[in-house]
Amino acid sequence: MIVALPMLILIGCLLTGVPIAVALAGSGMFGIWLITGDLTKVINIVGLVPFSSVADYQLTTIPMFILMAYFSASSGLARDLYAAASAWLSHVKGGLAIATVFACGIFGAMSGASTAAASVMSRIAMPEMRRHGYSEELAAGSIGVGATLDILIPPSIAMVIYGIATQTSIGKLLIAGIVPGIIAGILLAVMIYLWVVISPSHAPATFRTPAAERRASLLRVWPSLLLIFLVLVMLYSGVATPTETGALGALLAAVIGAMFGRLTVPGAVDALKSTIRTSAMIFMILIGATVFGYYMTLSRIPQEVVTIVIAMDLNRWVVVIGIVVAYFIISMFMDEIPLLLLTLQLTFPLITSLGFDPIWFGVLSMMMVAMGLVFPPVGLLAFVVSATAGVDLMKVYKGCSILMLAIVATTVLIMIFPEIVLWLPRTMR
């Protein structure tokens, strides 16, 4: 019980609003001291961790993908994607909401940050859907749940964190999210269509965009599609590391923005500043999680959990379902990065000891995180959409809760048919 006290302190800190990095580091330091009784050992660990935990070449992938996201947003690429998708889907019932989902997914292939997608698409898509008479529940739900696709579709920052934390191939993890991301996007489009057919008041009558405008919209998005294609090809073929891919992607996003005259010098400077702030936040959380990881190692809690579960002789799928439920509940209250860094120290050894593929579990973890990001009582993306688009939070939750059934269905398919996740990574060199 005494050994578990730091866990209770961590939970208390998180519930009372203590910064996540501080809560992880503080409870970890207390745990190390509690187990060893040696304050010098605590000081030595804290002295080494800030450098050793972030001085890793693989971690440079994170700021590169974040910079790519901010350059893409500043260059107006998301606006072009949404304009093209809405032009080609305007004649379909609920077409603008479906276009929002597709634009979120494609923008995710240039950013990897769900919060960035939710913020950008709230500014772009919500005014258009309001102008055309869409209900706020449907509009906000399509933005919120559509933005969760960014966690699955490469480049995904959360996937990179998972790969680093578990020593799993980042390239294969990123590629593994493609097929589940596409399936989730298609199911979301089907859910939106069924919603507006069953309840037509949520979407207006359709209209057909002139053919000339459709063709013009395609001319504006070809650089974005080329950027996505190059990123995916480099990741899949292995001709470049994920870090090199992110760096080249960021450069191409900047070049595209400059070519169209949208990325100004002040805009580029703001993108760099935002990248530094976001990367520093992630690295601080990683440092705190590493300190807490020392406590977990010394306490042998993960090993004890694995031993207890194996001794119970449960069906391994019962264990997976239990982990899925736990992830879903925790993700309602915590952002994806600290959630992964905190829970993987327990769940990953358990999953691998039961013979499950770490890449498959990585994608399954992303699905759980995606649900929590839009589900009450917290739901980070729901807050982003509500604040950015000026929509009542309860309406955001209602729309997201209905459309989240598509994410649930995708999760079930992944559990029943693991090859959905593993097929593409297995074909990589």
- The string of pLDDT tens digits covering residues 343-378 is 887 888 888 888 889 999 999 988 888 887 787 766
* Distance between first and last Cα of the chain: 48
Q: How many residues does the chain have?
A: 429
How does pLDDT run across 18-70, given as a tens digit for each residue? Answer: 777 888 888 888 888 888 887 887 888 888 877 777 777 777 888 888 888 78
Query: In this structure, what DSSP letter does residue 418 have?
Result: T
Both structure tokens of 94: 């609920």
**Tens digit of pLDDT for each residue in 229-263?**
888 888 878 788 888 888 888 888 888 888 877 77
CA distance 87 to 81: 10
Residue 263 pLDDT: 79
Contact by Cβ (8 Å): 379, 120: no
Token digits of residue 186: 């298609």
